[in-house]
Amino acid sequence: MGSLFSFSTFFNTKEQYTTKTEPPTFKEYFKVIFNNKGVLSVVTIVLSYGLCFGLQNAVGVYYLKYYMKQPELIPLYMFLTLGGKVIGSILAPIFIKRWGNKNTTIRAFIGILVFSLIMFFAPIQQPWVYFSLAVLVTFCIGVVLVSMTALMADLTDLTEYTTGKRSDGVLFSLNALSMQIGFAVSAGVAGILLDSTGYVANQVIQNDATLLCINLMRTIGPGLVCILALFMIRYYPINSNQELETIYTELDKKNRSAI
């Protein structure tokens, strides 16, 4: 199935325009990265995504097993949350077309924040309540996964527009690195915090400190990470699809004149 979708994407994706620009020199790459608030904004957003999604992945099973004491629901939880993420990713282009990448990312992060906080106060003893909120969170995560990737893609076009150089490779490498750092840090933090509260693996009854830690990492933790992303996205320079179309038009004119 994965191969089918990969080939479908490859054969049906078309370049919006062809470029005649040269890549930056090694020295110019540093200017693109460190003197560009937009790049730092997107890198922080992707890092926040890795932390947010990583925390939920790290403690999601523990939450059902120890906090809700319903380990038999773990397979259903995995199926529903993965489905929510997939559906969010599929529907993301609809939201992006209407609101633009930046505003879609903002709305999705707000959704993760709100639903995560509700989860902390909601009567999660009722599995349907927890599953409903968990699916809504992962739906928003799926939307963010698409929109934040598009943020960096648009930023490469803006970088070419302002500097005359394309930096696709280094910018998307930063995207991947930031996400992996977020996953690694979230997993490490979860392990350290659980160990510090006296967590005992596979022990049915955990102490109150461990249960509180699991609850906070599953609910409040991802919400706090969203605040960081929402703060940093204000530095992203492209605010609407209209601005993006202007960039595309100017780049197309430039590249046609270079032929």
Residue 28: pLDDT band with limits 50, 70, 90: low
Query: How does residue 6 score in pLDDT terms, banded at 50, 70 and 90?
Result: low
- In a domain, residue 74? The reply is yes
How many structural domains is the chain composed of? 1
Residue 207 lies in a domain: yes
Poorest-pLDDT segment among 74-83, 134-143, 170-179, 227-236: 170-179
- The answer to whether residue 104 is domain-embedded is yes
Average pLDDT, the chain: 85
**Residue 101 sits in a domain of what CATH number?**
1.20.1250.20
Whether residue 25 is contained in a domain is answered as no
Range of the domain at 174: 39-257
pLDDT value of position 18: 53
Q: What is the pLDDT of residue 194?
A: 92
pLDDT at 255: 67
Is residue 239, in this structure, part of any structural domain at all? Answer: yes
Is the predicted pLDDT of residue 198 greater than 80, yes or no? Answer: yes
Q: If pLDDT is split at 50, 70 and 90, which confidence band does 142 have?
A: very high
User: At residue 259, does pLDDT exceed 80?
Assistant: no
Q: Which comes out higher in pLDDT, residue 124 or 113?
A: 113
Give the per-residue pLDDT at 204. 84
**Among residues of the chain, what percentage have pLDDT more than 70?**
85
17 assigned to some structural domain:
no
Q: Does residue 13 fall inside a structural domain?
A: no
pLDDT at position 33: 66
DSSP conformation letters of the chain: -HHHHHHHHHHH---SS---PPPPPHHHHHHHHHT-HHHHHHHHHHHHHHHHHHHHHHHHHHIIIIIS--GGGHHHHHHHHHHHHHHHHHHHHHHHHHH-HHHHHHHHHHHHHHHHHHHHHS-TTSHHHHHHHHHHHHHHHHHHHHHHHHHHHHHHHHHHHHHS---HHHHHHHHHHHHHHHHHHHHHHHHHHHHHTT--TT-SS--HHHHHHHHHHHTHHHHHHHHHHHHHGGG-S--SHHHHHHHHHHHHHHHHHT-
* Lowest-confidence segment of 2-6, 133-137, 141-145 by average pLDDT: 2-6
pLDDT value at position 11?
Answer: 60
Range in 88-97, 119-128, 183-192 with the lowest mean pLDDT: 119-128
Q: Is residue 160 part of a domain?
A: yes
